[in-house]
Amino acid sequence: MIADVVYKDKKYYLMDEYGREICHDWESKLGVLKGFSGVMAVFRIDKKYYVYDDHLKEIAHNWESSLGEFRNVSGNYINFRMDKKIYTRDSHLREVSHRWE
């Protein structure tokens, strides 16, 4: 379970609830951290969002133009804003619901 993500020396380190490192990888591979929850981390690189599990194994990816602007991560869900709507998506970036802003 991801309790924290630490950025140090151009690497991201996923930490568990005891402060122990779960895994790490280079910023050049992962991109910029947008948000994380206990079960996933969302990164953005080259106008594409990537979702990784707690061992930095890729779950899904998709273009920013298809998903919209990243808003937040909560539990198993990610929210994006596009065309004045908020889209809630699962960790595989499949739409769960949407609503008007």
Output 23-32 pairs: Cβ under 8 A, ≥24 positions apart: 23/54, 23/55, 23/56, 24/56, 25/56, 30/56
Residue 61 sits in a domain whose CATH number is 2.40.10.480
Which amino acid makes up residue 73? V
Q: How many domains does the chain have?
A: 1
Distance between CA 54 and CA 61 in Å, rounded? 16
pLDDT, tens digit, for every residue of 68-81? 999 999 999 999 99
Tokens of 93: 């970036």
- Structural domain containing residue 75: 4-100
pLDDT band per the 50, 70, 90 thresholds, residue 63: very high
Tokens of 46: 């080259």
pLDDT, tens digit, for every residue of 82-91? 999 999 999 9
